[in-house]
């Protein structure tokens, strides 16, 4: 919460197991995405996008891989060192 006293964290306690599991699985995408940046790995980026619930809802794994490879090709000059 942000108010005149600044930023104040709010704690609500533990989530029910089913909600925690859903959040955990959806958040793994961000872990893989960060790892892809750290390691400069196209493969990890592809895997991260395959876990993205929005990408997975509209694209097959093959389409996600193709889309990611096309993006890396188009943006190659801005993504040095990716392998």
The span from the CA of 26 to the CA of 51, in Å, is: 7
Average pLDDT over residues 55-62: 94
The span from the CA of 19 to the CA of 44, in Å, is: 26
pLDDT of residue 64: 96
Residue 72's φ and ψ, nearest 5 degrees, are: -65, -35
Q: Residue 63 corresponds to which tokens in the numbers above?
A: 């389409």
pLDDT of residue 67: 95
* pLDDT per residue as tens digits for the range 67-83: 999 999 999 999 988 88
* pLDDT per residue as tens digits for the range 1-28: 888 989 988 888 888 999 988 888 888 8
Query: Structure pTM?
Result: 0.73
């Amino acid at each position: 919460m942000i108010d005149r006293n600044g930023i104040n964290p709010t704690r609500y306690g533990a989530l029910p197991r089913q909600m925690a599991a859903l959040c955990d699985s959806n958040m793994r995408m961000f872990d893989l995405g960060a790892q892809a940046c750290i390691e400069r790995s196209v493969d990890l980026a592809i895997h991260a996008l395959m876990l993205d619930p929005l990408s997975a809802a509209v694209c097959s794994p093959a389409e996600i891989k193709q889309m990611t490879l096309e993006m890396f090709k188009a943006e190659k000059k801005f993504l040095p060192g990716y392998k």
